[in-house]
A and B are shown apart, each in its own frame.
Chain A
Amino acid sequence: MANVQATEATGAGAALIEIDGLTKRFGTFTAVDHVSFAVRRGEVLGFLGPNGAGKSTTMKMLAGFMTPTAGTARIAGHDVQRNPVAARRALGFLPEGAPTYPEMTVSGFLRFCARVRGYHGAEMGARVARAAELTQLREVLLQPVETLSKGFKRRVGLAQALLHDPPVLVLDEPTDGLDPNQKHEVRTLIARMAPEKAIVISTHILEEVEAVCTRAIIIARGRVIADATPQALAQRHPSGRLEEVFRQLTLLPEAA
């Protein structure tokens, strides 16, 4: 407790995500090129970039799913390549497209994830109930995932990432396919969890970045071309709109 207060006093939480020189090449194509950044507790990092810029590839490497060509990624101090299981325990990950097993019920799927995460009996039930509550899935718990709408499927993926209340959340397009009300709920949820966690979200919705992110990174052609608060980024264009800055930076990469 004293520790938390100390870090709050200095205004900087512990860096829970550390990415250093992360690079991924597919043959001669470099998808991610020496990306480095750190995310501290309390930060919500918006990960922006055009399609194919390397956002998902970076997130896959951060989650320890894809092996980097070079560089390292650490989650809560654990190297995702050398100590994968410990790193994954500290991580809640929503993969691209929110994949789930279609034939399972929502409840069955969440219970499976909870069991793999080491929860059993009453605690497993409580964890599943809490995650379903947070993501508003209670009404569909007994339905097979394949019968659900896109928005529900996305929230099942999100619930799975929140089950173990991890210190690090990596969410690839968490609000994709949600209706405006659901988007609002998910943003509120992210904002509420933000103080105790380090969160990375990728998104194409720039207003979302301004609404929930404390910091934004723009990536294009595999490189980080901007890293600042959404407000500071928006100031870079006379119009003061993030959208214009995004277009300016990603359409003219040399301008950065």
Chain B
Amino acid sequence: MRNILTIAGRELGAYFATPVAIVFIVIFLLLQGTLTFNLGGFFDRGQADLTPFFNFLPWVFLLLVPAITMRLWAEERRLGTIELLLTLPVTQGQAVIGKFLAAWAFCAIALLLTFPFIITVNLLGRPDNGAILSGYIGALLVAGAFLSVGAAASAATKNQVIAFVLAVAACFVFAVASYPVVTDFLSRNAPVLSDIARRVGVLDRFANFARGLISLRDVIYFASFIGFFLCLNTVLVDARKAS
């Protein structure tokens, strides 16, 4: 556990040692703000809730989260520091989890900085703050799911651009897997897969959280989603580290 936290601490420090962190946070807040207030019609709706905010959040994550994860492993391999990291007395699993936690903590910081939205709705009306909290928990889980996909993509290649594009594509597939456009197509062509696709869709799960519904099933879904991709990440690191 100590090793995991040491690695996570170093990794989180690395985000803030370069302009990456500030650029990411500023762009994230700008995008979320513009989308929520303008496209989402935050004020015109006349309702004190964060529905427009949560509607856009997964899409913003879809684009920005792979930008956080693309360097996680690709950069280590490019610099050769992976050889240093993986010959320190840590297991590969600890390194994978440490890096993931650092990226997740970074997303949590970005999410926390959206607090003015909460203040705004509370000033304008009487929102259901329980639903807002549940929405934020869901948002953190969506970020975790996308991060785990992105980290695995980063472990698969030395090239950060490839890692980014792979991650966006994979996250998109998982995001909309349960949407009719996918499931209808699959049920016509491969009925077995359409049932699976309906269950692995990230956005539908998140929609429950945004409505204020936290169910054990959804939490287990996100936990196993993240767990699966962290395992895949470990396998990929082991297979590709020395190539």
Q: Which residue of B lies closest to A62 (CB)?
A: B87
Cβ B242 vs Cβ A116 within 8 A: no
B191 on the interface (CB 8 Å rule)?
Answer: no
Cβ A102 vs Cβ B87 within 8 A: no
User: A-facing mask of B1-42, CB < 8 A → 1, else 0?
Assistant: 011001100100110011000000000000000000000000
- Checking A93, A97, A100, A118 against B87 with a beta-carbon cut-off of 8 angstroms, the contacting residue is A93
Chain A residues in 8 Å Cβ range of B79: 99, 101-102
Cβ A65 vs Cβ B89 within 8 A: no
Using known A-B contacts A60-B242, A66-B242, determine if residue A99 contacts B80 with beta carbons closer than 8 Å. Answer: yes
Chain B residues in 8 Å Cβ range of A99: 79-81, 83-84
Chain B interface, number of residues (Cβ within 8 angstroms) = 23
Q: Which residue of A lies closest to B15 (CB)?
A: A103
Cβ B80 vs Cβ A96 within 8 A: yes
B91 on the interface (CB 8 Å rule)?
Answer: yes
Q: How far is the CB of B83 from chain A (nearest CB, A)?
A: 4
Cβ A115 vs Cβ B6 within 8 A: yes
Those of B65-93 within 8 Å (CB) of chain A: 79-81, 83-84, 86-91
Cβ A117 vs Cβ B88 within 8 A: yes
Q: How many angstroms between the C-alpha atoms of A96 and B84 in the bound complex?
A: 10
Using known A-B contacts A112-B10, A116-B3, determine if residue A100 contacts B89 with beta carbons closer than 8 Å. Answer: no
Using known A-B contacts A103-B18, A115-B6, determine if residue A88 contacts B88 with beta carbons closer than 8 Å. Answer: yes
Cβ B89 vs Cβ A95 within 8 A: no
Most chain A CB neighbours (cut-off 10 Å) among B18, B86, B88: B88
Cβ A108 vs Cβ B13 within 8 A: yes
- Checking A85, A100, A108, A116 against B81 with a beta-carbon cut-off of 8 angstroms, the contacting residue is A100
Chain A residues in 8 Å Cβ range of B88: 88, 113, 116-117
- Checking B6, B18, B84, B86 against A100 with a beta-carbon cut-off of 8 angstroms, the contacting residue is B84
- Interface residues of chain A, those whose CB is within 8 Å of chain B, are 60, 63-67, 84-86, 88-89, 91, 93, 95-97, 99-104, 108, 112-113, 115-118, 157, 160
8 further A-B contacts with Cβ under 8 Å, apart from A67-B242, A104-B13, A157-B84, are A65-B86, A65-B87, A65-B242, A99-B81, A100-B84, A101-B79, A103-B17, A160-B84
